[in-house]
């Protein structure tokens, strides 16, 4: 009989989370586990149609958090009477506000206990620290019985402990379970915040390389095409890529800079492009589905990701778009930022430069502009690098080994 594996994702679907869906789909295709996907809310975001196959696996566990008082009381009353017959001890434990603070006071854990008590999973794999933190508490309350695996990806470990205190994940890290980080940097942050090093495995974010057709030689250069994919938030470092682009224009390079994404800094960056005199070279394309994004990868000559550490500590994790670009055959220029040294072979598949340094970005872009043959060589090596290290088949093989390990440890 197959073991039951439950993924806890929080929101679903999320346009920036194809790496999760690739992983889950690969696990499902392996047919070793009976898979269920627990979410707390539907987002309504539009993702690639290929991920619609996950919908039958999705179940919504309502939370009390964010609801009006009357609705919270209704959900809590239903949970109380349900648990009274199934797991009465969970009622008082879930309302222990001395230990669980807001999640007890707003009856969130009481409401969630009603759903989780019937889940009966052998492995509960939580993506993102806050989801894992709740699962660890619910396991302590007694409504989750399976082994716990918690995966960290970025802001969940770089920002949340700063925002909510260094003990934010204390109970999670003391729970009986295993942990994954997507890069050496993220793992270092996990250890820094109290996660036992011996319980951590490195599991990168993955992609299905078959969805990113390797193009071989780049398109003819009638104009030098630069591409960036990412939300308009501080950590993406768009100010510095725009300033680098302005230096290219000063040098007389004829280029087109496409940026795909939306976010709170979009209008500010459009204004900066005008101020720098490069608005005629810029194309702000908004958020696009992955199949459309792939067409931009195919037509670009270089991929640029100038990420920085934001004022609140927010950083990138692995930067999966770097693997997407390399899978197509694009050379990449990015910053020496957190997990990026795991994502690029510096000098082989692309270049890494210091954060917040438009001059350094400009110099690498100019070098690649003048090195057409080298760009194709880097693209070929980048494709091989991604196939060997980030393809969903390769990564999920490691994950399945980890599932076996955690079941042995738990049993």
What pLDDT, in 10s, does the model give residues 103-162? 999 999 999 999 999 998 999 999 999 999 999 999 999 999 899 999 999 889 999 999
What pLDDT, in 10s, does the model give residues 261-309? 999 999 999 999 999 999 999 999 998 888 899 999 999 999 999 999 9
Share of the chain above pLDDT 90, in %: 83
**Cα torsion through 328, 293, 269, 186, rounded to 10:** -60
Q: What local confidence, expressed as pLDDT, does residue 288 receive?
A: 87
Q: Give CB contacts under 8 A, 24+ apart, made by 264-269.
A: 264/232, 264/233, 265/232, 265/233, 265/234, 265/238, 266/232, 268/232, 269/232, 269/238, 269/239, 269/242
Query: Is the entire prediction scored with pTM above 0.95?
Result: no
Mean pLDDT, residues 341-357 taken together: 96
CA separation for the pair 397, 319 (Å, rounded): 21
pLDDT at 174 over 80: yes
DSSP 50: G
Please provide the distance, in angstroms rounded to a whole number, between the alpha carbons at the two ends of the chain.
16
Q: What local confidence, expressed as pLDDT, does residue 410 receive?
A: 66
Q: What local confidence, expressed as pLDDT, does residue 141 receive?
A: 96
Please check whether the two domains, 3-208+391-410 and 211-389, share a CATH topology.
yes
pLDDT at 54 over 70: yes
Q: What local confidence, expressed as pLDDT, does residue 45 receive?
A: 84
Longest dimension (CA), the chain: 75
Task: Look up the CATH number of domain 3-208+391-410.
Answer: 3.40.50.2000
How many helices (H) does the chain have, and how many strands (E)? 18, 13
Q: What local confidence, expressed as pLDDT, does residue 93 receive?
A: 96
Which of the following CATH numbers is that of domain 211-389: 3.30.420.40, 3.50.40.10, 3.40.50.2000, 3.40.640.10? 3.40.50.2000
Domain boundaries of the chain, sorted by first residue: 3-208+391-410, 211-389
């Amino acid at each position: 009989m197959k073991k039951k594996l439950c993924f806890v994702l929080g929101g679903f679907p999320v346009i920036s989370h194809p790496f999760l869906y690739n992983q889950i789909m690969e696990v499902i295709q392996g047919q070793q586990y009976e898979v269920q996907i627990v979410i707390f809310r539907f987002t309504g975001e539009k993702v690639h149609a290929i991920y619609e196959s996950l919908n039958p696996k999705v179940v919504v566990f309502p939370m009390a958090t964010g609801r009006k008082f009357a609705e919270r009381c209704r959900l809590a009353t239903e949970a109380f009477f349900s648990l009274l017959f199934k797991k009465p001890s969970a009622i008082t434990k879930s309302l222990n506000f001395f230990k669980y603070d807001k999640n007890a006071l707003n009856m969130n854990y009481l409401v969630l206990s009603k759903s989780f008590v019937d889940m009966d999973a052998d492995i509960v794999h939580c993506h993102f620290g806050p989801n894992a933190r709740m699962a660890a508490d619910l396991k302590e309350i007694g409504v989750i019985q399976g082994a716990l695996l918690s995966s960290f990806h970025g802001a969940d470990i770089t920002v949340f402990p700063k925002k909510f205190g260094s003990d934010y994940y204390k109970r999670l890290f003391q729970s009986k379970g295993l942990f994954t980080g997507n890069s050496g940097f993220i793992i270092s942050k996990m250890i820094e915040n109290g996660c036992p090093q011996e319980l951590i495995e490195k599991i990168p974010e993955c992609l299905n390389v078959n969805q990113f057709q390797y193009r071989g030689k780049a398109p003819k250069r009638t104009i030098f095409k630069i591409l960036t994919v990412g939300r308009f938030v501080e950590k993406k470092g768009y100010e510095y890529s725009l300033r680098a682009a302005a230096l290219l224009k000063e040098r007389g390079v004829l280029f087109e800079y496409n940026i795909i994404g939306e976010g709170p800094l979009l209008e500010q960056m459009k204004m900066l492009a005008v101020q720098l005199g490069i608005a005629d070279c810029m194309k702000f394309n908004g958020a696009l589905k992955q199949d459309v994004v792939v067409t931009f990868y195919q037509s670009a000559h270089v991929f640029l990701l100038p990420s920085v550490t934001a004022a609140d500590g927010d950083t990138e994790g692995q930067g999966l778009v770097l693997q997407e670009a390399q899978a197509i055959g694009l050379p990449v220029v990015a910053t020496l930022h957190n997990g990026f040294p795991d994502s690029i072979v510096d000098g082989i598949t692309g270049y890494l430069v210091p954060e917040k340094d438009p001059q350094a970005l400009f110099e690498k872009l100019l070098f690649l502009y003048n090195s057409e043959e080298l760009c194709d060589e880097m693209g070929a090596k980048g494709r091989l690098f991604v196939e060997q290290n980030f393809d969903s088949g390769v990564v999920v093989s490691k994950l399945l080994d980890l599932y076996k390990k955690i079941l042995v440890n738990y049993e």
